[in-house]
Amino acid sequence: MITRGTRRTRALPLVGALLTVLAAPAFFVAEIAWLGYALLVAGLALAWLADQRSRIPIHPRRAPAGPDRLPSLTRDLSLIALGLVIVRTIPLAAELDNLAMLRFTLALGGAVLVPYLVSRFVYRDRATGFPWRGAHVEGQQRIRWGALHWGWLAGVLVLGWLILPYYFISSGVYENWPAVTSRELIARLFVGVGAVGIWDELFFICTVFAVLLRHFPMWIANALQAVVFVAFLWELGYRAWGPVLTIPFALVQGFIFVRTRSLSYVVTVHLLFDAVVFAVLVHAHNPGLFDVFPTAP
C-alpha cells in the first residue's frame, strides 16, 4: 500500500532519511564502502530516535493493527538500507557475459524482493508494492491514459532522439558499455538495458520512493529518491555531465508515478527512453547501424 505522509515534516526524521539515501552516492559515486555503511547506521539511529519521540512502536508485533497503525520510519528506512546493501554486493559496471548478467539478476532482483518480503511478512506493513494497473488509492477510479499520457510517451522518444546521441558520444561515456560487435552482443545489450530499466522503477519508485512517501511530502520524498536513482546510474555509466539528464528524469518519473499511480506507465516511459539509449549505444560502437540521429557528433 503506497500512501503519502501526512504528518508535519520535522528535522529529525528528515535528517535520518537524508543520511540513509546519502549512502547511495557514498557507495556508487565516491565508492567508499565504510562511509556508506556509516551513513546507513547513522540514518537508522536517527530514525529510531524519531520513532521513540513520536511513540511509534518499532517492533511490528507491538504496533496496533488497522488504521491506527502509524508507519515506523525505522522499519521503512531499513527497507531502503537492505536494498542498497544488496546492490552494493556486486560491481555495477556494464558487462554482457553470462556470469555478469547472472550477478545482476540475483543482486538487483534481491534488492527488490527482499525488502518486499520483509515488509510484508516480517514487518507486516506492506510498505512496498507494485501497482501495475494503478488504482491503489481507495475511492478513486483507475486513471486511463489520455492524450497527455500518450503525448508524453511521444515526447520522451523525441527528446531522447535529440539529446542522448550528443550526450553519449560527445562525452565518450558510451565507452562505459561494452563494444557490441556481433548480433549476440547486440541482443544481450537490448535485454540488459531493458531489464535494468524495469528494475529502476521497481526499486527507486516502488521501494525507495514508496516508503519515503509514507513519511514526507511528495516533493521531499521525490528529491530523496532522486539521490539514490542518480547515484546508481552514475556507477552504471551515466557519468560526465550525465546528472544534468538523470536528475530531472528521476524527478519527473516520481512526479508521474504520483499523478498516475500506475507502475505500468512509468515503466513504459522508462523503456521508451532506454530503447533510444540502446540504439545510441549500438550506433556509437557501430556508426553504420542506427544512423538516424541528427545530433550525433
Q: What cell does 104 get?
A: 545482476
Q: What radius of gyration do the chain's Cα atoms show?
A: 20
Residue type, 242: G
Work out the burial of residue 218: count CB atoms within 10 Å of its CB; fewer than 13 is exposed, 13-18 middle, 19 or more buried: middle
pLDDT digits (tens, 9 = 90+) for 180-226: 999 999 999 999 999 999 999 999 999 999 999 999 999 999 999 99
Q: Which of 229, 210, 227 is nearest to 218 (CA)?
A: 210
pLDDT of 157 > 50? The answer is yes
Say if residues 76 and 13 touch (Cβ distance below 8 Å). Answer: no
Sequence-ordered list of residues with C-beta below 8 angstroms from that of 11, at least 6 positions apart, any chain: none
Say if residues 83 and 111 touch (Cβ distance below 8 Å). Answer: yes
How many residues in total does the chain contain?
297
Residue type, 154: A
Residue 9: the pLDDT is 59
Mean local confidence (pLDDT), 35-55: 96
Chain position carrying cell 556507477 = 235
Say if residues 250 and 273 touch (Cβ distance below 8 Å). Answer: no
65 pLDDT band, cuts 50/70/90, is: low
Work out the burial of residue 231: count CB atoms within 10 Å of its CB; fewer than 13 is exposed, 13-18 middle, 19 or more buried: buried
Q: What cell does 49 get?
A: 530516535
Chain position carrying cell 512496498 = 128
Mean local confidence (pLDDT), 23-28: 98
Sequence-ordered list of residues with C-beta below 8 angstroms from that of 148, at least 6 positions apart, any chain: none
CA distance 177 to 194: 14
7 pLDDT band, cuts 50/70/90, is: very low
